[in-house]
Structure formats: C-alpha cells, structure tokens
Amino acid sequence: MAIEVRIPTILRSYTDGQKAVEGTGETLASLIADVDGRHAGLRDRLVEDGELRRFVNIYLNDEDVRFLGGLETPVADGDTVTILPAVAGGSWAASDRIARVAH
C-alpha cells in the first residue's frame, strides 16, 4: 500500500530534500505517523496537541482535509496527500516589529 505525500519546499529539510515521499496508513493520522517514523520531526510541523495545525493545508487528492475528516480522513493506496503551508498574514500587530515568532 503506497500513498504519495507531496512535501512543500519549507519542509524538505525533513525529507533530505525530496519533494515527495511514500507512506502507508488507514487514516491521515496514521499516515503522518508512518512518514514521521522515517522523517523525524515532520509530524510536529503538521500536528499540534492532536489537531492539524491551523496554518498548514493538507489535501487528499483535490480536497482540503478540513472538509473531509481532518486527521481521521481515511486514506487509501493510490491517493496523493499534498501539504502546503497556508499563505497568510495581515496588518494586525503592524506596530510590532519583533522578528521571531514561533509557528
């Protein structure tokens, strides 16, 4: 059983530069755990306190998993899971120029 997981540029440091890796699992959660087993640290960039991080978009084929089952979304052989960091921001706290904020 192989599911392709497409990795965005900013997370390729966890996958030795690879833009896609393979994994297995019945749900998105178990797929992420499986991939994290070979690429340690990747899971922490996607999941926090047992929930998908708000500003990371994960897609099962063409759909945002938020509209499916989130972490419990069933996945199957032949599926493609795509990870894209959300592109977001805004003028809120514009007066604050502190550079470093934890994701």
Partner 1 sequence: MVVLTQATYDAIVAHARRDHPDEACGIVAGPAGSDRAVRFVAMANAERSPTFYRFDSAEQLRVWREMDNRDEVPVVIYHSHTATEAYPSRTDIAYAAEPEAHYVLVSTADPERESFRSFRIVDGQVSEEEVRVIASAELTAR
The residue (of 1 and 101) whose beta carbon lies closer to partner 1 is: 101
Token digits for 73?
């979304």
The residue (of 4 and 64) whose beta carbon lies closer to partner 1 is: 64
Residue 33 φ then ψ, to 5°: -65, -40
The residue (of 24 and 55) whose beta carbon lies closer to partner 1 is: 55
Stretch that binds partner 1, among 24-32, 35-43, 68-76, 87-95 (CB under 8 A): 87-95
Site string for partner 1, 3-32 (x = CB under 8 A): -----xxx----------------------
Q: Which residues partner with 59 through β-bridges? A: 64, 82
CA distance 40 to 64: 24
The residue (of 67 and 74) whose beta carbon lies closer to partner 1 is: 67
CA distance 58 to 70: 9
80-85/3-6 β-pairing: parallel
Instruction: Name the site residues for partner 1 (rule: CB under 8 A).
Output: 8-10, 55, 57, 59, 62-64, 66, 82, 84-103
